Amino acid sequence: MSLGGALLLLIEDDEPMRRALVANLAGHGFRVDEAGTAADGLRAWEDRRPDLILLDLGLPDRDGLSIIGQIRRDAATPILVISARGDERDRVAALERGADDYLTKPFGLAELRARIAALLRRAGGPLADAGGLLTVGQVSLDIARREVRVGDAPLDLTPREYELLKVLLGRAGSVVTVGRLLRAVWGAAYADESHYVHVYVSRLRRKLAAAGAFEVFVAEPGVGYRVLLPEAVVDPG
């Protein structure tokens, strides 16, 4: 089954703004988690691993800029800053911290959605096609729609399984270490829980096999996992 549209996390303290954005984005098929403070936002990030983060910089409890760094230590999830601070200096600071895009308030909703879509298309990394679709053999993963298919059939995955597969497919052909998987899927706090990775990988392997995709990835003992590229595909690494 499809997991539904991409999961967005909106961290914004201005309540009328938040309501209007949630209404609009939901109307366009996105699922939106919302947070009014930096602390709530980081908690939602840990729990839900959204596909993209919309971040206001002027938060009541701490500066949005510091959140960017914290998220970037774990994962490459796209961050789109929406802020009333429009100075070049502010925009540069946010982008340098690791934000992927910057939109100055007030902005049009169509532009916001277009930028979200563009970021999601690129979120698959260099291996994704022009539409943001990651395909290895029979398995394809569509970040914008948060959807995994084996052949033509949608595959039902839990959020962690989806996230795990996304990270592995995004670096197909290369070894992804257990540590990296832990940080990206569970967060830095789980750095010592390597058994999580092994348990989820074997579940994922079972689900893929049940859908007809065998040997999608192999274990590199003591290091991590690697998605096998079909012979025809040249290893880009």
Give the residue, chosen from 107, 114, 212, 236, that forms a contact with other proteins under the rule CB under 8 A: 107
Q: Which is nearer to other proteins, 76 or 109 (CB)?
A: 109
CB of 103 to other proteins, least distance (A): 10
Q: Give the HSE-up count for residue 127: Cα atoms under 13 Å, Cβ half-sphere.
A: 24
Axis-axis angle for helices 109-122, 15-27 (nearest 10): 60
13 binds other proteins (CB under 8 A): yes
In terms of DSSP H, where are the helices of 186-229?
A: 194-210
| Residues 33, 9 contacting (CB under 8 angstroms) | yes
105 binds other proteins (CB under 8 A): yes
Q: What is the DSSP letter of 63?
A: B
One symbol per residue from 33 to 52: x for binding other proteins (CB under 8 A), - otherwise; what is it? ---xx---------------
Q: How many residues does the chain have?
A: 237
Q: Mark the segment that binds other proteins (CB under 8 A) among 79-87, 141-149, 160-168, 201-209.
A: 79-87
Give the residue, chosen from 109, 118, 175, 219, that forms a contact with other proteins under the rule CB under 8 A: 109
Total of residues contacting other proteins (CB under 8 A): 30
Q: 154 φ, ψ to 5°? A: -65, 145
Q: Mark the segment that binds other proteins (CB under 8 A) among 80-88, 155-163, 175-183, 217-225.
A: 80-88
CB of 14 to other proteins, least distance (A): 6
SS3 state of residue 191: coil
DSSP for 144-165 reads TTTEEEETTEE----HHHHHHH
23 binds other proteins (CB under 8 A): yes
Give the residue, chosen from 4, 86, 131, 212, that forms a contact with other proteins under the rule CB under 8 A: 86
| Range 5-41 burial, b when 16+ CB lie within 10 A, else e | bbbbbbbbbeeebbeebbeebeeeebbbbbbbebebb
104 binds other proteins (CB under 8 A): yes
How far is residue 32's CA from residue 25's CA, in Å, rounded to a whole number? 7
CB atoms within 10 A of CB 75: 18
Residue in 16, 10, 37, 11 with CA at minimum distance from that of residue 113: 10
Q: Which is nearer to other proteins, 28 or 198 (CB)?
A: 28
58 binds other proteins (CB under 8 A): yes
* Residue ranges in 129-188 that form contacts with other proteins under rule CB under 8 A: none
16 binds other proteins (CB under 8 A): yes
24 binds other proteins (CB under 8 A): yes
Binding residues vs other proteins (CB under 8 A)? 13-17, 19-21, 23-24, 26-28, 36-37, 58, 60-61, 82, 84-87, 104-110
